[in-house]
Chains A and B, each alone.
Chain A
Amino acid sequence: MTQTQSAPPATWSPPAPSTGTTQSAARTGSRRNAIAQWFEGTPGRMRAFLILAAVASILFGIAAAQGHAQSSGALERAEANAAQLVRIQEIHTNLVSANADATNAFLVGGLEPPAQRQHFVDSMAAAARLISEASTAQPADQNVLGQLNTTLITYNGLIEQARANNRQGLPIGSQYLKDANAVLQDDSLPLVNALVQANQKRVDDEFDGVSHGTIWVLVGGLLALVVFGITLRWLARRTHRYLNIPIVVGAALILIVTIMGGVSLSSASGAASDTRSDAYAKTLALSTARIAAYDARSNESLTLIARGSGDAFDKAFNDAAGVVDDQLGKASGTTDGLQDLWGKYTDVHKKIRTADTNGNWDGAVDMAVGRTNTADNSVTTFKAFDEQSADQLQSTSDDVASRLADARSSIRLFGWLGLPIGILAALLVAWGMSQRLEEYR
């Protein structure tokens, strides 16, 4: 910034030659002369500075608007993607919960308890509804969601065939159930996992993008202030008046808006990153815990169905239960009582395993399907955990949405101010400069 004096005119003089073509040299020459005359001498320089400062003001206004749009858009998209992620996790939960019902009902025999059947139907219906919602909410997920729907139709078909055969007392029903379980595990859930990963990445990217809005505002504000500073310094030297009030006011406005924008955008991005590490992390942990819990519950039934050949399922139960403990630990603070409830369920599970390994398969099944009236009832203990965790998941995911919406509304004032203030500053420059230009008339 050493050649400040000469640089501005150089910037603005070149446009003239480009208009000059071979057609009419004389006319071009006169037009060039007129433009050159306009920028000639001190008044010409003043005009050049006026244009430069006005353009810088407008550019600042645009940068401020862009910065706001960037932060606000990232917040909005983070909220939308987090909602989509919760939706996908809910699809996952509904599917594993339906499968847990189906496998557990198989232990009971051909006559399913109506409540359990209803829960299965409700879960599948909820999953179907959520899939269509999710594909409207995120077009990028449509392809995979469509594929997921296809596998679920196969799954549902196999389940119904299993039920129909079971109802008639034909052992082939169990084979259809096994195949249905395999379709869910091998075909459907990998698709759900791909969706979870893609949406998690989108949420992370948008959270990262919230702070980028601040860069626009600070860089735009700083450049505009430098141009204003140069203009004021030049004016002070040429006109021997220390301050040109309107231009100073314009610079002050830009400074205030820059500071205000920087502060409000960075506090919004701070709020976003707090949400990310707190409410959002808890939401993720809770929904992962719920999915793992249902998975464990299915494996409890499958271990019993396999009657002694279920080591692999029992191992899967332990893995899933480990995930539940782990995730509940991560979400601690909001998970009041959840660990206790989960502990009660795993205590019953241990009793079921003990009964089964001691050869009391019937006793184990009675506990697993809830035919016992004592506290050793896998159905009621699991239900308590399920309901409590569903409530808490709802409240944490609402919390994420409302905190991101708050952060967005906190920067709304700045978003409205940016461009008008830029235009106002440009007008102030024109006013201030024209006062000085008057003196040359």
Chain B
Amino acid sequence: MKKLIPLAVATALLLTACSSGNYAATQIPAEPQAAPTTSTTPAPPRPCPDGVDALASYAPDASTPAPLGEMPAGSFMADIKARGRLIAGVSADSLNLGSRNPLTGKIEGFDIDMINAVAAAIFPDAATNPNRVELRVISSPQRIPSLTAAKNPVDIVARNMTINCDRWHDIAFSAEYYRSGQKTLVPRDSTATSVTELNGKTICAPRGSTSLANLKKKNPQVVPITADTDTGCLVLFQQGKAYGISGDDTVLAGDAAQDPYARVITTERFSEEPYGLGISLLHPEFVRFVNVVLQQMKDSGAWKTSYDKWLKAALGPAPVPPKAIYGRVPVKQ
């Protein structure tokens, strides 16, 4: 009986949950487990579907309207005109190519000038009406999916996109409008003169870009790190998480312009990056029309004016505009 009393009291205390306000410490939530990176080796680049030179685009033909001409009924240009605006996928963070000017809020650059020229060839009032062009900001990995999307695709992509055979399987390209090449950005005090001297260093390249593949090919000894955009790489560089950046000289020039402690190794250019405007394979007539517009820009000097405005300061005097190559025949979709 005597033993029962303390037992009963203890049970009573337990039953009444006599908490004294001493709570268990709040737990820090577990870090979400990073999805196991399925390190599938990327499929080897496919050769051109028809064996023609990668740079060859669809030649303008008799049915291709002149800029500002009457758009043939049923053509994609007529659809765009009826819609009232051209929808373009662009970059908003590649200085001088396509970047948002924080002061004005407008996206501007060399790539954007190409888009504006195409819009001006469809809409007579494109220069004065900003709503004739809808710029959609897309990231590097989104370039092809945004063109092939079933729902609400973009009409055209101008986002420093390299023309290659592998991509011709998925989308069509205009004729080449600029010849870039891959270079390397390193800290100002680095003595490296080539990417081959950067063994063991962390080098950043945008995910899903040709730069990444080229970098691995050029020097397998570097440690690649990826970001979603070119500017993402610059942030990693500024935070010390990446030693250098590998990318097109146009992009690196823009990066170096934003960071006085960065320099581009100008002497080594280890790939050829011909830029083209990406268009869906479904609209070969639009590709032809864009080719006419690009040719007109190159001939009229508008191309050089744009180059001088955006790239001359960083990359030197304007080269001769790349010559358009034709000869590819659209495959029936």
Contacts and interface: CB of A to CB of B under 8 A. Distances in A.
B118 to A, nearest CB: 15
A89 interface: no
A110 B102 contact: yes
A439 to B, nearest CB: 31
A330 interface: no
A359 B131 contact: yes
A362 B104 CA distance: 11
B331 interface: no
B240 interface: no
A131 interface: no
Interface in B1-53: 1-2, 12, 15-21, 23-29, 32
Contacts of B25: 140-144
A213 B13 CA distance: 10
Contact of A215 (B15, B23, B24): B15
A17 interface: no
B135 interface: yes
Interface in B225-264: 229, 231-232, 234-235, 238, 254, 258-259
Contact of B100 (A111, A174, A360): A174
Contacts, number: 144
Chain A residues touching B, majority SS: helix
Nearest to A109: B105
B303 to A, nearest CB: 23
Contact of A176 (B94, B99, B139, B235): B235
A360 B23 contact: no
A417 interface: no
A219 B18 CA distance: 16
Contacts of B231: 171-172, 174-175
B137 A175 contact: no
A70 B138 CA distance: 61
B114 to A, nearest CB: 18
A74 B17 CA distance: 10
A307 B137 CA distance: 5
Nearest to A144: B26
B93 A174 contact: yes
Given A140-B23, A175-B235, A215 B16 contact: yes
Interface string A171-213: 1111110010000001000110111001100100110110011
B288 interface: no
B241 to A, nearest CB: 11
Rank and list the top 7 A-B pairs by shortest CB-CB distance, nearest first. A308-B136, A212-B16, A171-B99, A198-B26, A110-B102, A359-B134, A175-B231
24 contacts: A11-B1, A73-B20, A107-B105, A109-B104, A111-B103, A141-B26, A144-B25, A144-B26, A165-B102, A165-B258, A172-B238, A174-B93, A175-B232, A190-B29, A193-B29, A205-B17, A213-B16, A307-B135, A308-B138, A309-B136, A309-B138, A309-B146, A359-B131, A359-B134
